[in-house]
Structure 1
Amino acid sequence: MAAKREFDDFNDNTPAGVDAMAEKHLVQPWPVSGSIGAEARGFIESGEGIYVTDHTGRRLIDGPAGMWCVNVGHRNKELAQVMHDQAMALSYNSPWYTTNQPSAVLAKRLAGLAPEGLGHVFYTTGGSSAVETALRFMQFYNNVKGRPEKKMIVSREGGYHGSTYLSASLNGRPRDHDWMDSAREQILKLSCPNPFRRSAGMTEAEFTDFLVAEFRALIEKVGADKIGAFIGEPIMASGGVIVPPEGYWPRMRALCTEFDILFIMDEVVTAFGRLGHVFAADEAFGVKPDMITFAKGVTSGYFPLGGVMIASRLFEELRQSNHNDAMFAHGLTYSSHPIGCAVALKNLDILEEGLLDYAQSISGHFQSRLKALEDLPLVGEVRGRGLMAGIECVADHVSNNPLTLDLEVGKRIDKHCQELGLLVRPLINMCVMSPPLTISIAQIDEMADILRKSIVITQDELVREGLWKG
């Protein structure tokens, strides 16, 4: 009875009551030990189009599109109807011994949209499990081929690939590993391909040469017979929207082909319209990977779904091996979920019926309006592509050092943006934006204006507090 009385104290569904319930019982993602299990975060009540509304009734442009995912916007009636209809027809089936229609239809459709040769898909529940699946498949593939030592995985500093054990081990942000264990013995790291941080006096072409030479040297040092896969985001999203230099991707792909290393492109963020294409690997970067991981925008965040596109040749090789009884002992309860796959099919309809073309048509204006923020003293660089962009703040424009005295500058900017009607995603000394693809030119202008005002307010605040000379 005592436990029941405790929960009865928290049945108030007002904003204050929800805050109390969250602080008492909800463990938030990425908490710090000082507030873990006792934290309430900003309460969002509703969303519509490119906007969300908080508990005070304040309407905010959803600058991050949830978390890079609400590509067709909030409260899309077509997606909501599909969810209802599919749930009423078939809410779930076990993928261990049955198949549903939406998953098979979606698989065929994705195979037709993916780069040539990627004719198979394994469904997961999100980006982390998609990356985990790709890596587990690499291990299985090499085991069956009699290469049990070919298992090392190459990732990059600054990258982000997930929160499950193996996917998180790939992450290249130091704070991700400060207090968490990881499979360090299986991971090799290359330099972050960030042109803004290249050595003084080095051209972008020379920087590309350096990055490619670094990868080749690593392969030669460790041995190609030990390296199973290389994985990278086309554009590093959570790392601050890092766009690699020209020519980087085709040359990295060529090295993987030369040394028989599986090339995995992590398109959890960049697929399904963020760069104006269903998949960006070939269309935007000119490469055909062995595997592509995806999630987020595949359902526009309306249902948890992810997956891995896998080259058909890899399955052909496995079927021709001498180990016909070797089992890929990997799967998820919600693989091939009928509701998720049905939503993804309708989401693709919306994208292909004009939204992809529209996103491409407005991306130039989006990039140019944000790029203009570089005239502000606090802004070191604005970078991006398609409908994703990052603003990096620096202490000065000579050294381009980040603001070491105030690593909360991104949160400061976000706070002022929210006061003016915009939600952004703060990342230490950076802010990133990836709005719904449905955003209008006028709304892009409003977003850019709010960002400018918020950065100016932050500049004045830092000078006043003695944290920055300006």
Structure 2
Amino acid sequence: MSDHASLREAAKRHLWPIFGRGDTYFDDPSTSPIITGGSGSYVIDIEGRKYLDATGAQATSSLGYGNAAVAKAIAGAVGTFQANPSTFLPHEPAIRLAEKISGLAPPGFNKVFFAVNGTDANETAIRIARQYFRIKGEAAKRQVVARWKGYHGTSAITSAASGNTERRQFATPLPDGFLHIEPPYLYREPGNLDPEGYGGRSAAQLTTLIERHHASNIGAFIAEPTMGGGGVFPGPSGYWRAIREICNEAGMLLIFDEVITAFGRTGHWFESELIEQEEGILPDIITFGKGVTAGFYPLAGVIVADHIYQAFETSGAYLNHGYTFGATPLGCITALATIDTLERDGVVASIPDKAALLGKLLRELKESSAVIGDLRERGLMFGVEIVPNNIHTDRFRNEAAARSFLIAEGLRNGLLMVVSGNTINVIPPMTISNDEIHELVTKLEAVLAAVELGIAAGELS
């Protein structure tokens, strides 16, 4: 048995793949490559095949694969102290990173709490919101509103907040205390409503929900400012302004889950900053993760508006919460090196031009394709919704089979993709070049041609 075959057999015998893929996943090497490394916008498998990563390593790849400056910083830090002291004493890398992030965040966000990953950050944000209202003598305000299709993590609490029905059904029984509204989704609104004023109309769902469950019981609204994993859904014009006004009227906190969008994905360090420019509002709490360390090391966190922290400080209450691997010296050094490289290389400033090029090419592809129903975009994030025939908005009858077909065809064409429902999430490395953007769209065009052939042959419906 060759080394490659034995490695695949070992994977089949001992590795439990994530998100529902069983042993048969490893049977076809063309659709289950085993990765050995990466460089720039590409990963390479054990057979030497190269794949352009349209997922940006699950949106962590703010600097592509193998960035030398960050790797050097990590190598220099490994020989110091690799974990937090047993009494969780503060250390300089954490202090410097908190200071740096506060300087990049919108004004009035000066306290950072570190976690390990996005799940932890969002759970921490929910805990902070609930304790905030206990401090204020409003302990009944423990319910949290989120959105269907949203994704906030995989713990019990964040699974309950998330709105992915497929994942939720396998996590039951879920904790109570969570309510949901639909996200803005103009493409699938009955009769394709007039976009003018749609943001406010969509936000009005929150008012209806509050009236049904009473503001005295609801403490927060958590949402991704641009929904990422659920299919890339930006907030339409007026949406976040209306949501903020509704939250203010009901005495609710607004939590922005920026695990995907923070650290440059929208051309701003935080999408909250962009929304402040567009809508004139800010959240009360921001979470971050993924791109802060460019995927090199797990680290995430929560940034709170000053009035949130002051409620704790003036009351004498404290947040009795933390993580063994939150704010490790190595994680903080990695994040500092990542941010330094993003600044020095002008990566965040380059996003608008890259997004404009990719958006132009995808819109041209939509015009020529019979199977792209909708195209949604925000910064360097695109949702390409695939339908059997774009004359109608009908979904595939077997959406799981269509999703598997899309991912497999992507791999056969040297393209790594994430498919949410029937939407291809195009969230490439933020350092992707113009030539690579053209290559990505060319590969995607080949995938969609295969979809059209599959529909014609009756393989997809």
The TM-score, its normalising length taken from structure 2, stands at 0.93
* Pair 406,257 (structure 1): closer, same or farther in 2 beyond 3 Å: closer
Deviates more, 1:192-201 or 1:295-304: 192-201
Once superposed, which parts of structure 1, at least 4 consecutive aligned residues long, lie more than 4 Å away?
32-41
Structure 1, residues 210-266: CA drift from partner, whole Å, max 9, x if none?
222221122222221111110010111111111222111121112212222111000
Q: Which runs of 5+ in 2 are unaligned?
A: none
* CA–CA separation in structure 1 for the residues paired with 2:219 and 2:179: 11
Partner residue in 1 for 2:11: 22
Partner residue in 1 for 2:292: 298
Q: Which amino acid aligns with 2:310?
A: E
- CA displacement at 1:410 relative to structure 2: 3.1
- Asked if 2 retains the 8 angstrom alpha-carbon contact of 1:28 and 1:39, the reply is no
- Asked if 2 retains the 8 angstrom alpha-carbon contact of 1:380 and 1:397, the reply is yes
Partner residue in 2 for 1:159: 150
**Residue 73 (str. 1) matches residue 60 (str. 2):** no
Partner residue in 1 for 2:196: 205
* Pair 399,37 (structure 1): closer, same or farther in 2 beyond 3 Å: closer
**Residue 458 (str. 1) matches residue 451 (str. 2):** yes
* CA–CA separation in structure 2 for the residues paired with 1:400 and 1:299: 39
- CA displacement at 1:395 relative to structure 2: 2.7
* CA–CA separation in structure 1 for the residues paired with 2:38 and 2:23: 31
Structure 1, residues 414-463: CA drift from partner, whole Å, max 9, x if none?
32232222211123322111111111111111110111111012211221
- Asked if 2 retains the 8 angstrom alpha-carbon contact of 1:195 and 1:245, the reply is no
- Asked if 1 retains the 8 angstrom alpha-carbon contact of 2:157 and 2:175, the reply is no
**Residue 362 (str. 1) matches residue 331 (str. 2):** no
* CA–CA separation in structure 2 for the residues paired with 1:252 and 1:279: 18
Partner residue in 2 for 1:231: 222
- Asked if 1 retains the 8 angstrom alpha-carbon contact of 2:371 and 2:448, the reply is yes
* Pair 96,152 (structure 1): closer, same or farther in 2 beyond 3 Å: farther
Counterparts in 2 of 1:186-201, with a 5 A limit?
Answer: 186-201=177-192
Q: Which amino acid aligns with 1:120?
A: K
Structure 1, residues 17-37: CA drift from partner, whole Å, max 9, x if none?
332222222222222678799
- Asked if 2 retains the 8 angstrom alpha-carbon contact of 1:394 and 1:402, the reply is yes
Partner residue in 1 for 2:245: 254
**Residue 436 (str. 1) matches residue 436 (str. 2):** no
- CA displacement at 1:408 relative to structure 2: 2.4
* CA–CA separation in structure 2 for the residues paired with 1:36 and 1:168: 25
* Pair 83,374 (structure 1): closer, same or farther in 2 beyond 3 Å: same
* CA–CA separation in structure 2 for the residues paired with 1:290 and 1:428: 31
Counterparts in 2 of 1:92-131, with a 5 A limit?
Answer: 92-94=83-85, 96-131=87-122
Percent pairwise identity: 30
Structure 1, residues 109-154: CA drift from partner, whole Å, max 9, x if none?
1111111211111100000000000011112222222211110000
* CA–CA separation in structure 1 for the residues paired with 2:207 and 2:130: 22
From 404, 407, 411, the equivalent of 2:397 is 404
* CA–CA separation in structure 1 for the residues paired with 2:27 and 2:409: 25
RMSD between aligned residues: 2.2
Partner residue in 2 for 1:222: 213
- CA displacement at 1:201 relative to structure 2: 4.8
**SS where residue 185 of structure 1 aligns?**
coil
- Asked if 2 retains the 8 angstrom alpha-carbon contact of 1:153 and 1:187, the reply is yes
* CA–CA separation in structure 2 for the residues paired with 1:142 and 1:356: 36
- Asked if 1 retains the 8 angstrom alpha-carbon contact of 2:226 and 2:234, the reply is yes
- CA displacement at 1:57 relative to structure 2: 0.6
Deviates more, 1:55-64 or 1:217-226: 217-226
* Pair 37,31 (structure 1): closer, same or farther in 2 beyond 3 Å: farther
**Residue 374 (str. 1) matches residue 366 (str. 2):** yes
- Asked if 1 retains the 8 angstrom alpha-carbon contact of 2:259 and 2:287, the reply is yes
**Residue 422 (str. 1) matches residue 415 (str. 2):** yes
- Asked if 2 retains the 8 angstrom alpha-carbon contact of 1:117 and 1:311, the reply is yes
Q: Which amino acid aligns with 2:396?
A: L
From 169, 174, 178, the equivalent of 2:160 is 169
- Asked if 1 retains the 8 angstrom alpha-carbon contact of 2:156 and 2:175, the reply is no
Q: Which runs of 5+ in 1 are unaligned?
A: 1-11
Partner residue in 2 for 1:245: 236
* CA–CA separation in structure 2 for the residues paired with 1:309 and 1:184: 25
Q: Which amino acid aligns with 1:232?
A: A
The TM-score, its normalising length taken from structure 1, stands at 0.91
Q: Which amino acid aligns with 2:354?
A: I
* CA–CA separation in structure 1 for the residues paired with 2:372 and 2:26: 35
**SS where residue 408 of structure 1 aligns?**
helix
**Residue 266 (str. 1) matches residue 257 (str. 2):** yes
- Asked if 2 retains the 8 angstrom alpha-carbon contact of 1:408 and 1:429, the reply is no
